[in-house]
Amino acid sequence: MDTLYNNFIAHGAWLTLLKGMGTTVAVTVAALIIGTLLGAVLCALARSRFTVLRGIAKTYIVLVRGTPVLLLLMLFYYVILAPLRTDALYVAFIAFGLNASAHIGELMRTALQGVSSGQVEAARSLGFSRWGAFRLVSFPQAARIARPVYENAIVNLLQWTSVVGYIALSDLTRVVNNMSSRTGQPFLALAAGIAFYLLLAGLVHVIFQFFDRPQTRRQNIAPPAPTDLAPRPEVESIASPNRPSPDSPTIVIDHLSQQFHGQPVLTNVSTTIQRGEVITVIGPSGAGKSTFLRALNWLNPPSSGQVIFLGQDLSDRQTDINLVRRKMGMVFQAFNLFSHLTVLDNCTVGPRRLLKLTPAAARQRAWKNLAAVGLAEKAGAWPDELSGGQQQRVAIARCLCMEPEIILFDEPTSALDPTMIGEVTAVIRQLAQTGLTMVIVTHEMEFARTVASRVFYLDDQTIYEDGPPEQIFANPQKPKTQSFINRVRSFEYDITSRQFDFIEMQNSITNFCVKHGVDEAKTDRILLLTEELVLNVLIPHIEQIDLTVSYSEKDQSYEIDATYGGPEFNPLAAAPESDSPPDLSVLIITGSADVSHRYSDQTNQIRLVVH
């Protein structure tokens, strides 16, 4: 104790240690400020859509991050800033700030990439600007992601500053080194230095722990008066007073086309959606259903054409698309709730910030709509505490809190467990009864049929068929609609020679049947009929045949079509003057299937239909 007192206290050595620690803290704080500000600029450049700006950011980060901080410090002190006779402390600020900026810039970029793009789109669909979506969604969630790594970066920066003694700055490390040499007590000097560094690192940790406290569960949110919890009887309009008359259409779509990477997805789509209509959009995967919906909300602006919503042309540069989106709600298949906000906050953030409602009015509206979807008791929960069906119902309630003129549903049940689909479709059915205009992309055919007042079938890059559900589902007019509604799956095989690979054809048919769940007995019958028709009936007379096997999932029937050219010829029909009995293959075919033959324009087609 006497040694400790004589060397570190009696002669004021501890004050020297504090002064050195002050230099270390000053360099660390200044470098952190410079590094964070410059890192934010680098992050913005690295995320830019311009290749040149991304290249500049990447080059800077690679060069600076790859250069040892000591060499960077000496380069600035002895070379770059030497003619200016810059104070060593300021040189340290600059060198360490530049070094930190490369690491912090990459940290920011990585953290922002970790934020769900779907949540950003959800914020944009509510009517937030890009900057508003960044402040609401991207920044708070990226900050939470980056917080532990940012703390580690500060501690590392604190340790890196130990090399400033090379430019004659008396930081903590240099003071400890001098004290060790002067007192002849290296252990005590080093122990004191370590204690001071641990004190600084511990202080950083305590500060970050304060900001990184776990989210508290707000279970004690007081509901409004019971009368306010009644479901809203009708959806009120928030459209401007000079909007078109109630008899005018909600949306007019005129020659809308969309391309991605030069490939057309939608081509010349034109239609009108009237007020109060419930449109279900069906079609095969990849037909452009979600693209169509996102074009209406202008999340993916179309390549050409017009979308006129409540009399406003969305392609007009004078149109404020953010104001339009406040009247056009959108519900996504991935829910896209804001994960850093409670259920109640998810529902109130739009009305408060965009519609300028008071917090009390926004909460009252949120409670009303949460009650309407059966989730008032979950107001204080966080999204990750809810099931998929509950999250989707909250997403619907969030949409309703903006009181839109129309809601676009992008496959609202596709991400749900089958047991949860019913709770979401029940809410949508209730909304349909209020007269709210809706456009619903769905793969649930029974739901699409029963909820819709009108159905769009998308195929061939357009609205292939449009009509009431009775027509589309019971009596579709066009071939592709018929195939889709009957869930017809087809397999095609071209025979170009009498020496074709019969085993390959049969194996391909088997794989087709297995893929689409055709039972073993039906598969065996299909194989038998194709063998008899092709190998024993047609090939002796015909060399080139187009074979199609179609299976209907709806009525469990299948068809076998054989198409071939030449004059009219039906080998399954005996010649009128022939008294010889038909061969065994013909008997097997005609006894197992309904057989028909058509001839037109030098083309024969034999069709076998088996139920």
- Per-domain residue ranges for the chain? 2-211, 251-482, 486-610
Cα-flanking dihedrals φ and ψ of residue 358, to 5°?
A: -70, 155
Question: Tokens 């940290």, residue?
Answer: 107
Give a three-class secondary structure readout of 60-100: HHHHHHHCCHHHHHHHHHHHHCHHHCCCHHHHHHHHHHHHH
Q: What is the dihedral of CA 117, 123, 126, 130, to 10 degrees?
A: -100
Q: Give the separation between CA 17 and CA 193, rounded to whole angstroms.
A: 8
| Residue 372 vs residues 97, 375, 603: alpha-carbon distances, Å | 54, 8, 60
Indicate the pTM of the whole model.
0.75
Average pLDDT over residues 398-425: 89
Q: Which pLDDT score is estimated for 270?
A: 95
| 472 residue type, one letter | I
More confident: 179 or 352? 352
- Statement: residue 203 has pLDDT above 80: yes
Residues forming beta bridges with residue 609, ordered by sequence position: 559, 594
Average pLDDT, the chain: 87
* Structure tokens given for 79: 């070379």
- Statement: residue 184 has pLDDT above 70: no
What's the N-to-C CA distance of the chain in angstroms?
100
CATH number assigned to the domain with residue range 2-211, chosen from the 4 options 3.40.390.10, 1.10.3720.10, 3.20.20.70, 2.40.170.20: 1.10.3720.10
Q: Give the separation between CA 530 and CA 511, rounded to whole angstroms.
A: 15
Q: Which pLDDT score is estimated for 170?
A: 79
* Weakest mean pLDDT among 32-41, 155-164, 331-340, 562-571: 155-164
* 430-441 confidence digits (pLDDT tens): 999 888 999 999
- Residue 154's contacts (CB-CB under 8 Å, 6 or more residues apart) are 28, 32, 204
Cα-flanking dihedrals φ and ψ of residue 493, to 5°?
A: -145, 130
Q: Which pLDDT score is estimated for 610?
A: 87
CATH number assigned to the domain with residue range 251-482, chosen from the 4 options 3.40.50.11740, 3.30.70.260, 3.40.50.300, 3.30.70.1560: 3.40.50.300
- Residue 439's contacts (CB-CB under 8 Å, 6 or more residues apart) are 273, 279, 281, 293, 296, 406, 407, 408, 409
Q: Which pLDDT score is estimated for 245?
A: 53
Q: Which long-range contacts (C-beta less than 8 Å, at least 24 apart) are formed by 376-380?
A: 376/223, 376/229, 378/343, 379/221, 379/223, 379/342, 379/343, 379/344, 380/217, 380/218, 380/219, 380/220, 380/221, 380/342, 380/343, 380/344
373-402: b (≥16 Cβ within 10 Å) or e: bebbebbbbbbeebebbbbbbbbbbbbbbb
The class that CATH gives domain 486-610 is alpha beta
Q: Which pLDDT score is estimated for 11?
A: 55
- Statement: residue 493 has pLDDT above 90: yes
* 296-310 confidence digits (pLDDT tens): 999 999 999 999 999
- Residue 139's contacts (CB-CB under 8 Å, 6 or more residues apart) are none
More confident: 19 or 232? 19
- Statement: residue 578 has pLDDT above 70: no
Nearest to 449 by CA among 310, 279, 274, 291: 279
Give a three-class secondary structure readout of 253-282: EEEEEEEECCEEEEEEEEEEECCCCEEEEE
SS3 of 457, please? strand
Average pLDDT over residues 132-141: 93
* Weakest mean pLDDT among 451-455, 565-569, 574-578: 574-578
Percent of the chain with pLDDT over 90: 60
Q: What is the dihedral of CA 329, 334, 338, 344, to 10 degrees?
A: 70
CB 432 within 8 A of CB 401: no
| Residue 611 vs residues 518, 555, 556, 559: alpha-carbon distances, Å | 13, 8, 7, 9
